[in-house]
Structure 1
């Protein structure tokens, strides 16, 4: 299995993209409307922020989950006992953001959130009729006016050689939300687990946009769209001295949205945050 890159401007882009999501849990787009120069500028500015002591002035609030999460409280992936090697910052339009970084990062949030809504409409249009009929509401309605969609700026620091045994940048996991929108990081390392058990490198050409399905869409679609396991592996050689930055937008429904007979969006999210040790 390979992950094919779909040209967003192609006439059959929506169909090919949704086909990839169904078969692999991932879709990769090129020639999309998110400006590469905006992503590059964000990476540069936030690298400087993570390198500074200023980050500690914005430590996260456990109640609202916005702000800076140091490596000491970083996630432990579900089913794992060792923390990931990363630090990150959670951006919500209503949350804390360094004033000097807010205009650009909130511009990116709004652009990508709007584009994500278009991609959800693609998913809706090319899902089988039985999947569409099972949704409690249209996917685009699930996210309308949602205050839960999260932009995470991730910093994986250079390797030190004294990392905890078994620790990697991001242990194998699935995302919680509907869709995750991720511009290619400044360094490689993202891999997806294929159905045959093989780890595949996700195409990381700078300028690509990588989209993967989260558990909530898997739940809402009755498993038709699979929330595929992925990870970020540790670099080796000269690349081990490089930081890695990435910028995932986690598209979340409104809390009251019914995903299935078992879950609302809120009950699902709270269950997973407890499993991750974040609440």
Structure 2
């Protein structure tokens, strides 16, 4: 079996596009180095994330928005669960989304951000990281477009002012003999276009291969793990795979400490219609493709399935 691609975004995109594409077709995942997000910013954001989650429970819950679907602010431990899962995931998180002026045409789809008043530097740090994630994600999408035989900038208009969300994520430490190997986030696929993940070097992230085996994802420190979401899978009629993945507790000492990560869920614009690309339609079976749907309607469907709407 071939391996998950690990490529440098510092290389010309036309030299890495097909290696990325091959990995996304086979695994739905790839590892990206030299992604352009400064390590100093990553370090600052990781420290600030830990500081927030260390706040008292009643302080954090001030920023929970009932009925908000977890789109902004704080979502407490034991709220989200994977599609068809019987128990909630063992995690708490904070969401930062896009800030749009009230008169923007897409403002109705995106709630305003909230910021913890106890941490005055929180907003600047995570707005900077959000922008850096978006820039790195745009470059990955350019490579995907090249692999698919599209114009290099094909995806730029599809994600402009998209409903992308950055998640600060904490899996609290577990206790007891059952901690080692426990499932912290149940098997699931991501809803969005692509996900960019910082913090996966802590053991535990696994993907389900086409052969039905769990494969550990083990990136070098500071690298991004990229995976295909359901929206891009749908757009490409399954050519690029949205792969089921999970987070398990590692063995040994790491099983008993908290785990932190920061995924960026890059989304299409809410009004973008996900309609199978012509190049991804089987000419012998032209009707064998998913129905067209707006990315917003698709998002709402999936949020209901995971208990966030």
Normalised by the size of structure 2, how large is the TM-score? 0.81
- Tell me, which stretches of 5 or more residues in structure 2 are unaligned? 100-112, 276-290
- Residue 88 (structure 1) aligned with residue 93 (structure 2): yes
Kept in 2, the 8 Å contact 1:61–1:67? The answer is no
- Residue 269 (structure 1) aligned with residue 272 (structure 2): no
- Residue 144 (structure 1) aligned with residue 160 (structure 2): yes
Kept in 2, the 8 Å contact 1:180–1:211? The answer is yes
Name the counterpart of 1:180: 195
Name the counterpart of 1:226: 241
- Residue 67 (structure 1) aligned with residue 68 (structure 2): no
- Residue 25 (structure 1) aligned with residue 28 (structure 2): yes
What is the aligned counterpart of 2:115 among 73, 84, 97? 97
Whose radius of gyration is greater, 1 or 2?
2
Q: Residue 205 of structure 1 aligns to a residue in which SS?
A: coil
Distance in 2, Cα, partners of 1:161 & 1:87: 20
Distance in 1, Cα, partners of 2:143 & 2:240: 13
Kept in 1, the 8 Å contact 2:199–2:260? The answer is no
Query: Deviation above 4 Å: which 4+ runs of structure 1?
Result: none
Cα RMSD of the aligned pairs, angstroms, is: 2.2
Cα displacement (A) at 1:162: 9.0
Compared CA separation, residues 186 and 225, structure 1 to 2 (3 A): closer
Distance in 2, Cα, partners of 1:80 & 1:141: 35
Normalised by the size of structure 1, how large is the TM-score? 0.90
Kept in 1, the 8 Å contact 2:195–2:265? The answer is yes
Compared CA separation, residues 85 and 163, structure 1 to 2 (3 A): farther
Cα displacement (A) at 1:60: 3.0
- Tell me, which stretches of 5 or more residues in structure 1 are unaligned? none
- Residue 41 (structure 1) aligned with residue 82 (structure 2): no
